[in-house]
């Protein structure tokens, strides 16, 4: 059976095609009784609007902006690569990327305030948790621009949706793994974060500590070491920590800078080598799994996150229904034995 068309809606409602078009696009000049007849015809026929065709007829293009942290974070650079790789797959969509300094809430707020509503319909941003970013996001939404957060959320803001993994669940998964890896080695667990200003790292820490303290009380969790996702800073600070804390048996790296983690543990003798769980499968973390430097990698699918972010922004711009199940990004765990 063929799908009902706009012609069918017009026939059943007893109105012209142009009237149906005005109702579908929310334009003025249609009496309420006529709007109700069109709505009833749509219900009876089970008509579903083809947004892509409607956009084509209006020559509509979605103009989307991704605001990502700059610097050497491999995961963020991977997101940029995914945007470039998917660019041709999105009809009627122009996507641009701008970088701001990592963990710099003032720079992020400034970038949000500079978004021009004449050239941008929707924004996806990696959020830092601060009042000035919330205020800038409220200004952005006040301009009629759709907004979703990506990877790191800001739920008390005016963002409309979040695209990313459940970071509390990711932290709990890391604790379950690391607790088992270190089960017969009582000692301390070092946490390496990028910054506690970003919600994804704070939530990962929360989930991690919940599980470790309830299920593996023989392990003591140390305060987080902030390395700003910079491998040199991570390497230096973790080296200093390990030299002054000889009973570290496990390391959980919540963010990037994993080359610094590997550099810090490389000189340790085998009997002092801690178990290590990190985030994001990159070319380097893959090699570290294979050579035994890392024990597990917790990963999120970058390609899926970009795809979902674009689809969400398009739906928010159009006012289309959103399927929450289609937005979910799963937490993946890789050991060297199940690498893709």
Query: Which CATH number is correct for 60-164+302-328, 3.10.20.30, 2.60.120.10, 1.20.1260.10, 3.40.50.2300?
Result: 3.40.50.2300
pLDDT by residue for the chain (340 residues), tens only, comes to: 567 877 788 888 998 766 777 777 666 678 888 888 888 888 888 887 665 555 544 445 789 999 999 998 999 999 999 999 988 888 788 999 999 999 999 999 999 999 999 999 999 999 999 999 999 999 999 999 999 999 999 998 999 999 999 999 999 999 999 999 998 888 999 999 999 989 999 999 999 999 999 999 999 999 999 999 999 999 999 999 999 999 999 999 999 999 999 999 999 999 899 999 999 999 999 999 999 999 999 999 999 999 999 999 998 988 878 888 778 899 999 999 999 9
Put residue 164 in one of left, alpha, beta given phi > 0 → left and psi -120 to 50 → alpha: left
Rounded CA-CA distance 319/88 in Å is 24
In this prediction, residue 59 carries a pLDDT of 45
Rounded Cα distance between 44 and 248, Å, is 67
Cα 106 to Cα 95: distance, rounded to the nearest angstrom: 24
Q: According to the CATH classification, is domain 6-49 in 3.50.50.60? A: no
Closest by alpha carbon to 62, among 306, 327, 318, 323? Answer: 318
pLDDT at residue number 96: 95
CA–CA separation, 273 and 30 (whole Å): 74
The CATH superfamily of 167-299 is Response regulator (3.40.50.2300)
As annotated, the residues of the chain forming the CATH 3.40.50.2300 domain(s) are 60-164+302-328, 167-299
Within 10 A of 54 (CB to CB), how many other CB atoms are there?
15
Which single residue is written with the structure tokens 């579903």? Answer: 48
Residue 147 is predicted with a pLDDT of: 97
Q: Where do you find CATH 1.10.260.40 in the chain?
A: 6-49
């Amino acid at each position: 059976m063929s799908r009902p068309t706009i012609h069918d809606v017009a026939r059943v409602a007893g109105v012209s095609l142009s009237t149906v078009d005005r109702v579908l696009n929310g334009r003025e000049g249609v009496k309420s009784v006529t709007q109700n007849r069109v709505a009833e015809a749509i219900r009876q026929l089970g008509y579903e609007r083809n947004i892509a065709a409607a956009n084509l007829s209006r020559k509509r293009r979605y103009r989307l902006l991704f605001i990502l942290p700059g610097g050497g974070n491999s995961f963020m650079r991977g997101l940029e690569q995914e945007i470039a790789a998917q660019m041709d797959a999105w009809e009627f969509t122009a996507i641009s990327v701008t970088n701001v300094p990592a963990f710099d809430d003032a720079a992020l707020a400034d970038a949000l305030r500079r978004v021009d509503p004449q050239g941008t319909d929707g924004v996806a941003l990696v959020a830092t948790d601060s009042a000035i970013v919330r205020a800038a996001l409220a200004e952005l939404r006040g301009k009629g621009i759709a907004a979703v957060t990506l990877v790191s959320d800001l739920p008390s803001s005016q963002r409309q949706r979040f695209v990313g993994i459940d970071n509390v669940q990711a932290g709990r998964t890391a604790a379950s793994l690391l607790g088992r890896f270190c089960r017969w080695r009582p000692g301390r667990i070092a946490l390496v974060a990028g910054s506690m200003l970003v919600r994804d790292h704070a939530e990962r820490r929360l989930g991690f500590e919940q599980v470790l303290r309830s299920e593996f009380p023989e392990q003591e969790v140390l305060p987080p070491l902030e390395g700003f996702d910079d491998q040199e800073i991570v390497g230096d600070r973790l080296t200093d920590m390990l030299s002054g804390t000889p009973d570290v048996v496990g390391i959980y790296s919540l963010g990037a800078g994993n080359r610094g983690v590997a550099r810090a543990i490389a000189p340790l003798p085998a009997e002092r080598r801690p178990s290590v769980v990190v985030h994001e499968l990159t070319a380097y973390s893959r090699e570290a799994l294979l050579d035994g430097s890392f024990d597990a990698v917790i990963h999120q699918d970058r390609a899926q996150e970009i795809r979902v972010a674009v689809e969400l922004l398009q739906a928010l711009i159009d006012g289309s229904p959103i399927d929450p199940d289609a937005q979910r990004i799963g937490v993946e765990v890789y050991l060297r034995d199940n690498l893709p």
